Amino acid sequence: MEDSTDMKQSKAHAKAYLSSLLDKNLRISTTDGRLFRGCFKCTDHDQNIVLSDTFEYRRRSSAPSEKAPETPSDATLSAEAQSISAADDGSGNISSRYLGMVVVPGHHVVKMELEEFASQRATRKLAV
């Protein structure tokens, strides 16, 4: 009986944690090395993740290719790419593009991170 109570508490805690992430910016790393940054909207039993206002970041291939059409602006993409400094090795080999709303299949998710700035972490620590 106690295990059932512990399991219910664990599920309630997990549900509360996921609810706290709604409408927050997340970074999702996938098995193929891509990184998605967007606003967390929902998940399902298969652990698929829905993000809105999503940017995709990936390492450029070594082969030269045509420049992709601009979306929404190079300045916006540059600002977004700077916020993903963990994925950049400093060589400028990161390409990005705006995707909008995406579903990231759960079986491809390697890592999920809450994107916070230092000021947000400091505020959260004061509230606790």
What would the pLDDT profile of 13-65 be if each residue is shown by its tens digit?
A: 999 999 999 999 999 999 999 999 999 999 999 999 999 999 999 988 765 55
pLDDT at 76: 46
pLDDT at 93: 87
β-pair type (94-104, 49-59): antiparallel
Residue 89's pLDDT band, with cuts at 50, 70 and 90, is low
Q: Helix (H, G, I), strand (E, B), or coil: what is residue 80?
A: helix
Please give the mean pLDDT across all residues of the chain.
81
Q: Which has the minimum average pLDDT: 31-45, 97-111, 112-126?
A: 112-126
pLDDT at 116: 84
Q: Give the CA distances from residue 24 to residues 1, 21, 100, in Å, rounded to whole numbers and listed in that order.
A: 36, 5, 15
And the tokens for 95?
């390409």
Q: Yes or no: say if 30 and 110 are a contact pair by the CB < 8 Å rule.
A: yes
Question: Which position has the higher pLDDT, 79 or 55?
Answer: 55
| 92 backbone φψ class: left, alpha, beta (φ>0; ψ -120 to 50) | left
Query: Domains in the chain, ordered, with CATH?
Result: 23-127 (2.30.30.100)
pLDDT at 4: 84
And the tokens for 25?
């910016």
Q: Yes or no: say if 56 and 96 are a contact pair by the CB < 8 Å rule.
A: yes
pLDDT(101) > 90: yes
Among 36, 30, 78, 82, smallest CA distance to 56 is for: 36
**What is the average pLDDT across 1-13?**
84
